[in-house]
Amino acid sequence: KDANAALLSNFEVYQLLTDLKQQRKESGKTKQSSGQQNLNTIMYETLKYISKTPCRYQTPETVREFLIAMKDHKLTK
């Protein structure tokens, strides 16, 4: 499957952003280009918004169980 065409759940986006935030904190780089600053702003705003949703409390197992339960309903994108 085409990785660029895949849909992500809010949980996956939350996990990705929190992991990136942690990596950046550990690397400790301070000088950033304006494009990098814009990306940081987008990441911050997205993480701020998505942290207020239930995905913050989900686990990979609960998402997997949900997808398995919904498989029989043959929902489309």
pTM exceeding the 0.85 threshold for the entire prediction? no
Q: In this structure, what DSSP letter does residue 72 have? A: T
CA separation for the pair 46, 17 (Å, rounded): 8
pLDDT of residue 1: 54
Enumerate the domain spans of the chain. Answer: 10-21+34-70
How many residues does this entry show for the chain?
Answer: 77
pLDDT of residue 3: 67
What separation in angstroms does the CA of 17 have from each of 7, 45, 51? 16, 11, 10
Q: Give the chain's mean pLDDT.
A: 86
| Residue predicted with more confidence, 19 or 2 | 19
Percent of the chain with pLDDT over 90: 49
pLDDT in tens, 31-67: 678 778 888 899 999 999 999 999 999 999 998 999 8
CA separation for the pair 45, 52 (Å, rounded): 11
